[in-house]
Amino acid sequence: MEPAAQTTEEINNGGGGESNAGFLASCRDRLRSASDGLGRAVAGLAGKLARIARDDPRRVAHSLKVGLALTLVSVFYFVTPLYNGWGDSTLHHLDRATLSKGMCRVLATLAAGSLAVGAHLVARLCGEDGEPVLLAVFVFLVASAATFSRFVPVVKARYDYGVLIFILTFALVTVSSYRVEDLVEFAHERVTTIAVGVATCLFATVFVFPVWAGEDLRNLAAANLDNLAEFLEGMESECFGEENPCEKLEGRAFLQVYKGVLNSKAAEDTLCALARWEPVHGKFRFHHPWSQYQKIGVLCRQCASSMEALCILCCNLEKISKMSSPEANPDLCVKVGAACGAMSSRSARALRELSSAVRTMTTPSPPNDDMPAAIGTTTASDFMAELSEDAALLQAMHVAAIVSLLSDIVTQIERISEAVEDLARLARFEKTERTGHAVVVNVED
């Protein structure tokens, strides 16, 4: 009996050991799996951060500048004499670490503080009972007038943030003047603390890896011209080519390019408003014609809209021809495609030349008269003659719309060229010899 009991006990102990070993192995596997998952997550996050930094290295520079600005402002807290002299509100104004907003904040604070001190002095003449009433009236009138000014388009686009700071500062100083004994000292403290914070931010912004809105605006204008050129090049090769004339273009990559041009207005207006506050840097001097970039952007968007409509009409021309009567001209689609292809090729080269001129800030080359025009007077006349002889009304109307849009696009490209030439003259672009040629395409109806 005893050997049997001993054997049973040994078996039970052995089974428990195996169970414990299995549990420990399962724990090790789970820990290993969790560790591997955490490692993959960290590696994925590091890869995303690296891609963000590679896409725009200026993001890294901006992060370093914010850290530097905060460190410099922190000196006012670490050094006792500076802390006692400036107070504890210097750091609060570092969040507006931009050139335009910093200048708006300083100017608005100076104007509002001065006006609030004047309102306080006038209100004191009314005695202790009349002072709070008159101060409330001043706050109501000034706040109402300043708020209404924010609806003025020019003020809204350029000085909206400054007006907001003006309202807040005037209300704060005016209301505080009723309880603060030395109002001038209070206003002086607010102005100086803001000035220190803004000066620190401006130092980090201007002298440490500066990022200029003017350069981004110029690059945006050049990119819009490149996008238009890419769209025209795609039309020539994929829409009006000999191998696939007037075929369907759904899903083609070049069809999406014009959308970036149409959606560029918001970024363009923002960059233009910020660039006006920037000091002289590089080739950008005082009184640089920033509004001329907006004019070029408007013309580019108009041209992009016409290109979209032209592409739709040309893609449907072959379908319209098949739906028309037997008397329809079967060669009309080919003739229109050839003319559009010639226009697209030469107009794209013209836009590339203009884009290069804007990007490098050099004067564009004059038109090359030796290069033949993409669309001439005879071609447009031939189209009209074909229409007058064609009995298919639907095809005639469709081709007439294509000819009209074609002429409109050429005219718009000429206007873009003139706008770039005006920019080169107003901004005093450098005059250099260029390898390309600016092409001006003319159409006479």
**In the chain, pLDDT over 70 holds for what percent of residues?**
69
Nearest CA to 198 out of 162, 239, 156, 155 is that of 162
The secondary structure of 403-422 as a DSSP string is HHHHHHHHHHHHHHHHHHHH
Cα torsion through 413, 220, 362, 61, rounded to 10? -170
Share of the chain above pLDDT 90, in %: 13
pLDDT in tens, 59-102: 787 777 777 777 776 666 565 555 554 444 444 433 333 567 77
| Residue carrying structure tokens 């203009």 | 354
pLDDT of amino acid 53: 81
435-444 pLDDT tens trace: 444 444 443 3
For the entire predicted model, the pTM comes to 0.67
pLDDT tier at 332 (50, 70, 90 boundaries)?
low
pLDDT in tens, 204-239: 777 878 888 889 999 999 999 999 999 888 878 777
The Cα-based distances of 287 to 27, 219, 297, 408 in angstroms read: 71, 19, 19, 33
Asked if pLDDT for residue 390 goes beyond 80, the answer is no
> What residues pair up with 362 in beta bridges, in sequence order?
430
Residue type, 33: S
For the chain, the structural domain boundaries read: 63-207, 213-426
The mean of the pLDDT values for the chain is 75
- pLDDT classification of 333: cutoffs 50, 70, 90: low
Q: Does domain 213-426 have CATH number 1.20.58?
A: yes
Cβ contact 366:438 at 8 Å: yes
The two three-digit tokens of residue 334, written as one number: 């080919």
Examine the pLDDT at 377 and tell me if it is beyond 50.
Answer: no
Assess whether pLDDT exceeds 80 at residue 247: no
Per-residue confidence (pLDDT) for residue 226, from 0 to 100: 94
- CA angle centred on 18, ends 17 and 21, rounded to 5°: 85
pLDDT(167) > 80: yes
